[in-house]
Amino acid sequence: MRRGTALVVGMVVTAGACISACSPPETGVAQDAPAFRGAPHPPGAVLDSPGEPPEEAFDANFQGWPGSLRPGEAEERDGEHMRRIRERGRVIVGVDQSQYLLSYRDASRGELRGFEVDLAREVARDIFGDPERVDFRFVDSAGRAEALRAGAVDIVIRTMSVTPGRAAQVDFSTPYLASYVRMLAPSDRGVAGLNDLAGRTVCVVDRTNVLNLVRERLPESKVLRVRSWSDCLMATQQFQADAVVADDAVLAGMVAQDPLTEIFPQELAKQLYAVAAPRGHDDVVRQVNLTLERVRGDGTWHRLYQQWLAGSLADAWPPNPMYREDAR
């Protein structure tokens, strides 16, 4: 639908340009036909020239993260932070609202839906015995750690992959989903692989570790930095980007919304998503890991995967638990 609209707009503008350019010019004045500039970039977008260096190296081996805390005993999950959540009667979870299949607002139902939304409800189920006792708060990629530091949310479940830099800012649960960084491109762009992206524009969400990976692996490409992955999909539809590089769990939602795109099988890196909690909130981390242990064992994880991510390239099995060797 958007491509058709863009084509019609382009035809109208071109026709208007011809009316102006084909009219006899004023005597002695040379006139150039105006160029069609297309739709504006998404709000907050920045287009970088090729060759911008990464802010830090992309860590594909998860070195520097010792692992999470084991669920432990009941008294270890009954600290001051969990008591505060229970007294409030709801757990506050930071999520996205535009990542189709993972965490998105379903306009027809007027509610948030997706794999990560349902996982948040499972956490609430184990705390309160009621999966609906959860308040969802929107957080963008750049504001996840700050939302935790400021106490705006209790936990974040928002495609937050484990990296040493992030582990210095937040505490992570054991991972709940493994995904792989791949490339998506519209079928009409003539892109057959990464080697075709030199001089072309690649879209990626700003202040993510994927941005560092793109700058490392695609130094000859222009990079369009945007606020959300839905902005990247829109940018490709409006011919502002030739490809998107992201985790395949994210790309699966884009293909579901736009069948004229395809995901390429080449893996650039592996990502592990984990639930984030404020630093030092060990009782909260243990409580989340208790839920993750349960959903791995009772079939809930596989049910959620089949409901939301079946057919995607994300791993169809939950990651093995990753716990600290020196921690219960």
Give the pLDDT of residue 38.
67
Sign, CA torsion 206/209/215/221: negative
Percentage of the chain modeled with pLDDT above 70: 86
Query: pLDDT tens digits, residue range 305-323?
Result: 999 999 787 788 999 999 9
Cα dihedral 102, 105, 109, 111, rounded to 10, equals 90
pTM of the model: 0.85
Confidence class of residue 206 from pLDDT cuts 50, 70 and 90? Answer: very high
Do 277 and 166 lie in one domain? The reply is yes
CATH number at residue 263: 3.40.190.10
103-114: pLDDT as tens digits? 999 999 999 999
Indicate the number of domains in the chain: 2
Region 180-202: mean pLDDT is 95
pLDDT band at 21 (very low <50, low <70, confident <90, very high): very low
Asked if residue 283 and residue 159 are part of one domain, the reply reads yes
Is the same domain home to 195 and 288? no
Residue 264 and residue 230 in one domain? yes
Same domain (yes/no): 222, 159: no
Report yes or no: 169 and 316 within 8 Å, Cβ to Cβ.
no
State the residue range of the domain holding 90: 74-178+272-308
Contact status, residue 200 vs residue 222, Cβ threshold 8 Å: yes
